[in-house]
């Protein structure tokens, strides 16, 4: 019986492993919020699949909301309904950059979503995850194609254009105002 206990103890000790404290490598699903595609509009999924078929070179896309200026000739558009679909990219670096905190996967392609929810999440973690899935740098925007989508509050989804430059950006540059500093009485009396 004594040998039986020794064998059991040896067996149990052999099952113990030393856990070296190596940093855990977070997967995409461990890092930010994964959205179940069954809850996403079928029409939006079809549009994203069309984009994937047209641009199969991208494994990571971003669906951005409210991060652009509508040209004055299209001021009738509701900016709250406009989204940009395209490859993940870096914009100009600025302190208040908000990175996507959620994503979903369609046909093996990750689609990151920018929303107001992102502000509630750990942005340092969101930035690390997003930058690991970066497709292009803004300095190389040559042939990159973005689509402008209109997603209405009613749930209707459509591709407004496959050339967002028609709708977005600054379309008129006004002459800079000439600034004339006021002359103070104090400076006039000194001469």
**Structural domain span for residue 80:** 44-166
| Six token digits for residue 135 | 């497709």
Burial of 71 (C-beta count, 10 Å sphere; 0-12/13-18/19+): middle
- At residue 8, does pLDDT exceed 80? no
| 159 assigned to some structural domain | yes
| 187 assigned to some structural domain | no
Considering its fold, how many domains does the chain have in total?
A: 1
The predicted pLDDT at position 95 comes to: 57
Per-residue confidence band for 109, with pLDDT thresholds at 50, 70 and 90: very high
| 12 assigned to some structural domain | no
| 111 assigned to some structural domain | yes
| 188 assigned to some structural domain | no
pTM of the model: 0.69
Q: Which residue has the higher pLDDT, 19 or 94?
A: 94
| 83 assigned to some structural domain | yes
Q: Lay out the sheet containing 102-106: strands in order across.
A: 33-34, 102-106, 109-113, 60-65, 82-87, 147-151, 157-161
- At residue 12, does pLDDT exceed 50? no
Which residues partner with 104 through β-bridges? 111
| Six token digits for residue 52 | 């994937």
Dihedral of CA atoms 147, 66, 57, 126 in degrees, nearest 10, equals: -170
- Helix, strand, coil shares of the chain as percentages rounded to 5? 35, 20, 45
| 175 assigned to some structural domain | no
Burial of 187 (C-beta count, 10 Å sphere; 0-12/13-18/19+): exposed
Q: Mind listing the pLDDT tens digit for each residue in 24-82?
A: 445 565 678 999 999 899 999 999 999 999 999 999 999 987 656 566 556 667 767 88
Stretch 121-145: mean pLDDT = 80
The predicted pLDDT at position 106 comes to: 96
Long-range contacts, stretch 47-50, CB < 8 angstroms, 24+ apart? 47/85, 47/147, 47/149, 47/157, 47/158, 47/159, 48/85, 48/106, 48/109, 48/111, 49/106, 49/107, 50/159
| 3 assigned to some structural domain | no
- At residue 191, does pLDDT exceed 90? no
């Amino acid at each position: 019986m004594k040998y039986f206990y020794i064998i059991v103890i040896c067996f149990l000790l052999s099952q113990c492993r030393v856990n070296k404290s190596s940093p855990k490598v977070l997967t995409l699903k461990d890092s930010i919020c994964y959205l179940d595609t069954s809850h996403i509009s079928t029409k939006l999924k079809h549009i994203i699949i069309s984009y994937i078929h047209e641009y199969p070179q991208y494994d990571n896309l971003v669906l951005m909301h409210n991060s652009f200026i509508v040209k004055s000739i299209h001021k009738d558009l509701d900016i709250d309904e406009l989204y940009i679909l395209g490859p993940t990219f870096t914009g100009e670096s600025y302190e208040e950059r908000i990175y996507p905190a959620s994503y979903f996967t369609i046909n093996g392609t990750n689609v990151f979503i920018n929303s107001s929810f992102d502000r509630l999440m750990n942005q340092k973690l969101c930035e690390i995850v997003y930058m690991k899935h970066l497709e292009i740098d803004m300095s190389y925007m040559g042939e990159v194609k973005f689509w402008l989508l209109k997603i209405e509050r009613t749930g209707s989804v459509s591709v407004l254009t496959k050339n967002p430059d028609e709708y977005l950006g600054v379309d008129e540059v006004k002459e800079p105002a000439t600034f004339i500093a006021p002359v103070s009485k104090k400076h006039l009396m000194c001469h």
